[in-house]
């Protein structure tokens, strides 16, 4: 019995995450056309088998279009702004899958705009960074029509290792914001305890090696270990993007009447990192901030450490 052919895919947004995700589809043999505001980022995917779309409108005839952009405003622009996917007369994709981290209000508005054109919309934010994508370990949380989710699931399976369907509407947005609040709180705590251990005479490599092998170790602590040991702050996720997610999360907490004192304090510490001029580095630069507050001068360590992600296919 022959398999159903995979849909023809359009992709909007070829930044660090979007490019890594589109690359996995292209390398899996999916027909993918990519548009990015900076064309060179889309052109970099041609070697992996992707096509470059000259405009967003060129993607309108695709079966499924994924969006992976930086903000709510960017999502509105690429869908309903000037030259957006839904603006021109003519065909629109059957399904739009948005993998960005945006507000529930924007997500609901874009869902309505897509549905007015007779198409379907899935909210499908992700957990991971570019390295996680390359290792095939990205995970999705998805909300919208379950029937549409079932249709798109094979594509999600080519990009990552799993997807969790959590219901109708915008429920996936809240789940992702909760996830990123935890991400920030854990990153801050990890920075604090690593500084404490080092100031007490323990190398970062030794401390984090122990932590990763303990019951407290996680995929996150493992793949951040090389950055913390080597002081490699090349960005995978910036403090500015993390602050955006804290803003969204604390707003949701206020609306739902939930007290989040630890998250609120972490937001201020992330803001202090931005105010200190470290906004374009990786958010693991929180380590430097805690070291400075403790009067500790950090130096890169030579120890070889593993990120726990294995070989990158």
| CATH at residue 23 | 3.40.50.720
**pLDDT band of 58, cuts 50, 70, 90:** very high
Q: Is 2 contained in some domain?
A: no
Q: Is 17 contained in some domain?
A: yes
Q: Is 91 contained in some domain?
A: yes
Claim: this prediction has a pTM higher than 0.85: yes
> Where in the sequence is the domain holding 267, given as residue range(s)?
174-294
Distance CA 143, CA 122 (A): 6
Digit-coded pLDDT (tens) for 141-199 = 999 999 999 999 999 999 999 999 999 999 999 999 999 999 999 999 999 999 999 99
Helices assigned H by DSSP within 145-282: 146-159, 171-199, 204-213, 219-230, 239-256, 261-275
**pLDDT band of 310, cuts 50, 70, 90:** confident
Q: Within 10 Å of residue 245's Cβ, how many Cβ atoms?
A: 21
Position 311 pLDDT exceeds 70: no
How many percent of the chain have pLDDT more than 90?
Answer: 93
Query: Which of 125, 149, 168 is a domain's end point?
Result: 168
Q: Examine the domain organization and report whether 137 and 194 are in the same domain.
A: no
Query: Which of 168, 196, 225 is a domain's end point?
Result: 168
> Which token pair is 1?
């019995």
Q: Is 272 contained in some domain?
A: yes
What is the domain count for the chain? 2
Mean pLDDT of 125-137: 93
**pLDDT band of 3, cuts 50, 70, 90:** low
Q: Examine the domain organization and report whether 16 and 137 are in the same domain.
A: yes
Q: Which residue has the tokens 């995979």?
A: 6
What sign for the dihedral angle of Cα 82, 107, 24, 64? negative
Contacts of 47 (CB under 8 A, 6+ apart): none
Respond yes or no: is residue 176 known to be catalytic: yes
Q: Is 155 contained in some domain?
A: yes
Residue 282: give its domain's CATH number. 1.10.1040.10
Q: Examine the domain organization and report whether 81 and 57 are in the same domain.
A: yes
Q: Where are the beta strands (DSSP E) in 19-88?
A: 32-35, 51-52, 64-67
Q: Examine the domain organization and report whether 82 and 156 are in the same domain.
A: yes
For residue 2, the model assigns a pLDDT of 46
Distance CA 178, CA 245 (A): 9
Q: Is 144 contained in some domain?
A: yes
Query: Which of 133, 168, 203 is a domain's end point?
Result: 168
Position 9 pLDDT exceeds 50: yes
Main-chain dihedrals φ then ψ at residue 32, nearest 5 degrees: -125, 130
For residue 39, the model assigns a pLDDT of 96
Catalytic pick among 137, 176, 224, 244: 176
**pLDDT band of 250, cuts 50, 70, 90:** very high
Q: Is 143 contained in some domain?
A: yes
Q: Examine the domain organization and report whether 67 and 87 are in the same domain.
A: yes
Q: Examine the domain organization and report whether 101 and 206 are in the same domain.
A: no
For residue 26, the model assigns a pLDDT of 98
Q: Examine the domain organization and report whether 182 and 267 are in the same domain.
A: yes
Side-chain-facing half-sphere of 287: CA atoms under 13 Å: 26
Helix and strand numbers (H, E) in the chain are: 12, 9
Q: Examine the domain organization and report whether 159 and 40 are in the same domain.
A: yes
Q: CA 237, 238, 243 angle in degrees (round to 5)? A: 110
Q: Examine the domain organization and report whether 131 and 105 are in the same domain.
A: yes
Mean pLDDT, the chain, rounded, equals 95
Q: Is 211 contained in some domain?
A: yes
Q: Examine the domain organization and report whether 69 and 218 are in the same domain.
A: no
Contacts of 4 (CB under 8 A, 6+ apart): none
Position 97 pLDDT exceeds 60: yes
Helix axes 239-256, 261-275, angle to 10 degrees: 150
Q: Examine the domain organization and report whether 139 and 234 are in the same domain.
A: no
Q: Examine the domain organization and report whether 158 and 284 are in the same domain.
A: no
**pLDDT band of 313, cuts 50, 70, 90:** very low
CB 59 within 8 A of CB 10: yes
Digit-coded pLDDT (tens) for 294-303 = 999 999 999 9
Mean pLDDT of 6-19: 96
For residue 312, the model assigns a pLDDT of 41
């Amino acid at each position: 019995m022959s398999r159903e052919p995979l849909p023809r895919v359009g992709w909007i947004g070829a930044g660090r995450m979007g490019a890594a995700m589109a690359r996995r589809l292209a390398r899996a043999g999916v027909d993918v056309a990519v548009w990015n505001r900076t064309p060179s980022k889309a052109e970099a995917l041609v070697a992996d088998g992707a096509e470059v779309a000259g405009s967003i409108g060129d993607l309108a005839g695709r079966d499924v279009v994924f969006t992976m952009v930086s903000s709510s405003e960017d999502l509105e622009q690429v869908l309903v702004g000037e030259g957006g996917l839904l603006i021109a007369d003519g065909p629109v994709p059957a399904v739009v899958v948005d993998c960005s981290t945006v507000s529930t209000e924007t997500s609901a508005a874009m869902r309505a705009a897509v549905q007015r054109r007779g198409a379907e919309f899935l909210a499908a934010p992700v957990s991971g960074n570019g390295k996680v994508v390359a290792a095939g370990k990205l995970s999705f949380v998805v909300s919208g029509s379950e029937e549409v989710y079932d249709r798109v699931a094979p594509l999600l399976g080519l990009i990552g290792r799993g997807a969790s369907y959590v219901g109708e509407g915008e429920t996936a947005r809240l789940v992702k914001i909760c996830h990123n609040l935890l991400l920030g709180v854990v990153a801050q705590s990890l920075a604090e305890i690593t500084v404490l251990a080092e100031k007490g005479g323990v190398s970062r490599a030794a401390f984090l090696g122990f932590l990763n092998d303990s019951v407290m170790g996680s995929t996150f602590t493992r793949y951040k270990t090389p950055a913390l040991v080597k002081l490699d702050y090349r960005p995978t996720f910036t403090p500015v993007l993390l602050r955006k997610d804290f803003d969204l999360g604390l707003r949701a907490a206020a609306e739902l009447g939930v007290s989040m004192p630890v998250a609120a304090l972490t937001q201020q510490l992330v803001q202090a990192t931005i105010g200190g001029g470290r906004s374009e580095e990786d958010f693991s630069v929180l380590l430097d901030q805690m070291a400075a507050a403790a009067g500790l001068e950090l130096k890169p360590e030579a120890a070889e450490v593993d990120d726990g992600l294995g070989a990158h296919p």
